[in-house]
Structure 1
């Protein structure tokens, strides 16, 4: 989520989500921190959407919960995806559909939209003209010269803006460390078609639920080999339905079948098009891998194709799914062993093309981890941009653009906002720290009952534990230590329950550390009678 401010008005470009890492247990989504603008929602002219991927639109419903009439601006497919998502949140947005080569004035912001090629249809870059300067935000893009839909990145438009003078370029950095140029999507189709040859079992393909072009290639291969296709996974069904309605996905008559019909077909006559390419445990493929899917049980003669790249941070989850699928005896094909996917992001060679074409005065690498931003910054310097005019920013950094010069001017306090179930923001780092302790070392509850008058132990001590040990006698040795510690406290006239709880916690904690070299969560209970 990027926020632009000019003449007291605000413009939001994209509003996405992050997905949790393994050290964020229980978290479903991670949102931008809206706190710095909650008292200025009336100042927002619109939310401009560059494309419909979750990391660019997933946070919109949560922002619109605060003010549901903030206008949305984006391409037809992007707006359709957002509106379907908002319908689930019971929000009816105010939307404006735009296309490449169109312009739109929103308050002090003059917007121009340019086509960019990405792994989702209808992606847009946006030029933002103001009296303070001109900004070009590329969104996510690559420069496939032979895309399936014939829609290439508008380098001519980039060059035209560059000739007018781009004061600040915000450009996709995801593949900045990767040299060269991206392979064409057209190279994937024949590979997938060849994989269908000679397969006698079912074919299960997992892909991003928004990758319309990949799904089209699966349709084409299935049609060529006399197979029917069924969608598996709610987001796949929803997104591809939208793509079909908009004419972005073309299926020959009779190719698509329902799940109920698909499971009755001969194995060599069906393809399942599934979600779960990133190892998500609750996705369709994740449930197949764990044997929990209610329709599909993976069998040894199945062929499973993961037609996607590995999103950084998801490697462990993806390979876990691959291993579980392989244990069934099925054939598992992924990007590491066959050319079943190409990235949707421009590598270094293409980023240099953009830098040399636009010739921006200032560059702000966006969209990527720290190493990607730094790599992109080095490319900008190599292309001739003054090193002092290349800014690698962190979340919350404020960049001022004045008289054609961008400077890091300050920082807005912000934090990651965690979504856990239906709750937004009530889980923070202290709770996650406790969850990590529980996940690493388990839980021990120690209880003693004391006489409220003299502080002597009259019941217990007892210990119960979860996630610590299978040995029912594991805590026999610590019970007398607890009794001794409580008696010592009574002899010293220590009767305050809080102080006794701390003595109980220290006693158990020291014994666990000395005996097991572990650090479980210890919860002491001192009951007075």
Structure 2
């Protein structure tokens, strides 16, 4: 039987972030993007979420290369965790490679990793695959789509993109090349669905520059701008307008400093002589000569803007009259955190300007009309919407149907599902291990759903520990039970309840002794059940109850 092309998403479907797609043909595998996701509000203590690499580790001898579309964390953030287990060459454009190099150096993986820089237009051979890099516009420099040629047919994988006819640098998305591929015949299109619910076209990045100019012109206050650290073109526009109006620029926030360092070294950012100053020197400058570029557009707890707002930043404190420009929209789920920072800025009498008050942010993702252009140019036999939650994938499928594609040629998949292609057919056939792996501190994967459930329980209801000392000889109670609570009630104001709990625990122990029960596990269960039943009747709450028996 002829080999089939398999496409497997290990992340990025029915979720935002954690983008990762596996292409397999015969004995060869290539991986497109190795992204990470950010924890939901109920993932207590979790730092980041990464894909499940089980399938790749099991098949690591087949992996011919890792190909990266661009340098955002949701596309490159999990690379250090994958490279702990496998060793494969990484192919990326210059900006993406620069950001990956910083990550690998931080994790001490640079010496044993082969990182190969490619340009748009280049073709890389990887086993039975050949991968062509195609220039696209996005909110970070050097983003690309891939045309992946296989013995079964060509697959176009867009990555994150939009069509910007007036980009700051790099030229417009290479629609001509996508059209050429469409004429030759494309087996399948995997296309970004992030903005599919928005009609029309995404605005050009240049719109934001005009807004910055208006806000800097005639302003006598300090100006503080926050945006995504990776949006090099946005940061360049801030620096250019600051220089135009005679302001010095200081940068704060580790990710912002790293992104600017890479951008300047690679020539993606041009800073006029004498404009950039150390953050420690701004106090000696008049307010109307200062511009601070900072991280924190998403209200992150430890970000520079949050620390400024809450007066914990070492060099900068927000003052009355400061003009704070938030040049980003809140990522879904971050609205409360962003709102909290904005409220604190208002409390300090700062002037806050965000996208509600002007064109201060444009998306990096294609809206409906741009997506239609890509579908029309590529003319794929089969279509797989990717990068989005279920409603986005379904909306993108409808868009393809509206353009005349037969429903049977549209496949809405899920992470772990294997899509098998022949030159004329596509179907879901089987699954591989997939899901979310939680990173907590140095621990990768050691926090599972049971631990998260316990953390949720503790966060919502608190805990009660009942400690009793018992004789190892005859099972009699030597001391206790003592009741200790955390996160349940304030003990000094609830002494009556604590005493009642102690009596319930004593009764449970007496019942066990009366029944001549010497199994300590059974005694613990009895105590736990009696305490739990009493507390629910009394308070309608279910704290975590931990009976502790010490043998003396």
TM-score range, shorter chain: over 0.9
Match of 2:518 among 492, 495, 514: 495
Shift of 1:74: 1.2
> 2:167–2:204: 8 Å Cα contact kept in structure 1?
yes
Q: For the structure 1 residues 67 and 207, does the alpha-carbon distance in structure 2 shift closer, same or farther, using more than 3 Å as the test? A: same
Match of 1:278 among 295, 298, 315: 298
Match of 1:390 in 2: 410
Match of 1:75 in 2: 93
Shift of 1:122: 0.6
The answer as to 2:530 corresponding to 1:507 is: yes
Match of 1:311 in 2: 331
Q: Which string of whole-angstrom CA distances, capped at 9 and with x for unpartnered residues, describes residues 198-257 of structure 1?
A: 433322211111100110111122112221111111111111111111111111111101
Shift of 1:270: 1.2
> 1:456–1:487: 8 Å Cα contact kept in structure 2?
no
**TM-score, L = length of structure 1:** 0.97
Match of 1:361 in 2: 381
Bigger Cα displacement from structure 2, 197-206 vs 512-521 = 197-206
> 2:57–2:86: 8 Å Cα contact kept in structure 1?
no
Match of 2:103 in 1: 85
Distance 1:55 1:99 in 2: 21
The answer as to 2:527 corresponding to 1:527 is: no
Distance 2:74 2:283 in 1: 33
> 1:161–1:358: 8 Å Cα contact kept in structure 2?
yes
Distance 1:289 1:518 in 2: 36
Bigger Cα displacement from structure 2, 431-440 vs 100-109 = 100-109
Distance 1:463 1:303 in 2: 53
Distance 1:438 1:511 in 2: 19
> 1:116–1:142: 8 Å Cα contact kept in structure 2?
yes
Shift of 1:285: 1.7
Distance 1:86 1:262 in 2: 33
> 1:243–1:249: 8 Å Cα contact kept in structure 2?
yes
Distance 1:220 1:484 in 2: 76
Secondary structure of the 2:284 match is coil
Match of 1:300 in 2: 320
Q: For the structure 1 residues 470 and 290, does the alpha-carbon distance in structure 2 shift closer, same or farther, using more than 3 Å as the test? A: farther
Secondary structure of the 2:186 match is coil
Match of 1:30 in 2: 49
Secondary structure of the 2:140 match is coil
Q: For the structure 1 residues 65 and 264, does the alpha-carbon distance in structure 2 shift closer, same or farther, using more than 3 Å as the test? A: farther
Shift of 1:453: 4.2
The answer as to 2:99 corresponding to 1:99 is: no
Match of 1:50 in 2: 69
Match of 2:13 in 1: none
Unaligned residue ranges in structure 2 (runs of 5+): 1-19
Unaligned residue ranges in structure 1 (runs of 5+): none
Asked which structure has the greater RCO (Cα within 8 Å, sep 6+), the reply is 2
Match of 1:21 among 30, 40, 43: 40
Secondary structure of the 1:494 match is coil
Distance 2:35 2:172 in 1: 24
Distance 2:50 2:436 in 1: 6
**TM-score, L = length of structure 2:** 0.93
Shift of 1:410: 1.4
Shift of 1:42: 2.4
Shift of 1:422: 1.2
Superposition misfits of 4+ residues, deviation over 4 angstroms: none
